[in-house]
Homo-oligomer: A and B are copies of this chain.
Amino acid sequence: MGTMSEPRWLSAEEQRIWRDFSAAVNMLKAHLEAQLQQDAGIPLTYYEVLVVLSEAPGQVLRMSDLALATRSSRSRLSHAVARMEAAGWVRREACPTDKRGAFAHLTKAGLAALQAAAPGHVDAVRYSLFDPLTPEQLGRLGEISGAILERLTPRCTEAAAAELEAMDADIARG
């Protein structure tokens, strides 16, 4: 190793927390994924796309904005929307002002699929996350998540996301 400093290994307690956290998160995601896939045939990430689209004004969003809002790569979103379009949940439309751009529209079928899937998904989230935690723990979890987010979110992405929300709010207002 030469000049390299010794890595700061995790203490036994830190290891326990890390492994429990890691396991909990994995099981939680697997649980939600399986529920959604089995009951509604929708992968979790596609579900999130549907949710974001359904909340967008006019239920339309530029691909880039959709990628930003779902924290997905453009590539991933492009593949996903291609599949969702094939499923009839989303329709792509060219942007008239910027010919590079593309809009993703939520279709009736997409909204219906979302509405059919939502109750089961919400139940699963309640069952596996909200129910086993006390209100205090929930509050803590919110703080903790915020701290991690702040650490890992690059400033520019943050700014762009805030802008997007502000735009949404403007449109909602009128």
Contact = CB atoms under 8 A, between A and B. Distances in A.
A12 interface: no
Nearest to A138: B17
A24 to B, nearest CB: 4
Interface in A13-61: 14, 16-18, 20-21, 23-29, 31
A71 B26 contact: yes
A84 to B, nearest CB: 19
Interface residues of A, number: 50
A147 interface: yes
A161 to B, nearest CB: 10
Nearest to A26: B71
A83 interface: no
A156 interface: no
Interface stretch (A85-93, A100-108, A127-135, A163-171): A127-135
A74 interface: no
A6 to B, nearest CB: 8
Nearest to A16: B142
A35 to B, nearest CB: 12
Nearest to A48: B22
Given A24-B148, A128-B151, A128-B152, 20 more contacts: A4-B119, A7-B123, A8-B122, A10-B125, A10-B130, A14-B138, A17-B138, A17-B141, A17-B142, A18-B130, A23-B149, A24-B144, A24-B146, A25-B29, A27-B148, A27-B149, A27-B153, A127-B151, A132-B147, A133-B144
Interface of A: 4, 7-10, 14, 16-18, 20-21, 23-29, 31, 71, 118-119, 122-123, 125-133, 137-153
